[in-house]
Amino acid sequence: MESLYVIKIGGNIIDDDALLSVFLKKFVAIKSKKILIHGGGKLATRMAEKLGIPQQLIDGRRITDVETLKIVTMVYAGYINKHIVAELQSLKCNSIGISGPDGNSILAHKRENAPIDYGFAGDIDRVNADWFRQLLDSGICIVVSSITHDGNNQLLNTNADTIAQEIAKAMSTFFEVSLVYSFEKPGVMQDVGNENSVINKLHPDYYKKLKETKKIFSGMIPKLDNAFKAIDSGVNKVIIGKGEELDLLISGKAGTTISHE
| CATH number of the structural domain spanning residue 22 | 3.40.1160.10
* Contact criterion met (CB below 8 Å) for 119 and 107: no
Spatial separation of the C-alpha atoms in residues 147 and 157, rounded to whole Å:
5
Spatial separation of the C-alpha atoms in residues 36 and 164, rounded to whole Å:
8
Residue 90 lies in a domain: yes
- Beta-ladder partners of 98: 144
Rg (CA), the chain: 18
Residue 180 lies in a domain: yes
Q: Which domain holds residue 146?
A: 3-185
Q: How many residues does the chain have?
A: 261
Q: For the whole model, what pTM was predicted? A: 0.94
pLDDT tens for each residue of the chain, 261 residues long: 899 999 999 888 999 999 999 999 999 999 999 999 999 878 998 999 999 998 887 777 788 999 999 999 999 999 999 999 999 999 999 999 999 999 999 999 999 887 888 999 999 999 999 999 999 999 999 999 999 999 999 999 999 999 999 999 999 999 999 999 998 889 988 877 788 889 999 998 888 888 888 777 777 788 888 889 999 999 999 999 999 999 999 999 999 999 987
Residue 239 lies in a domain: no
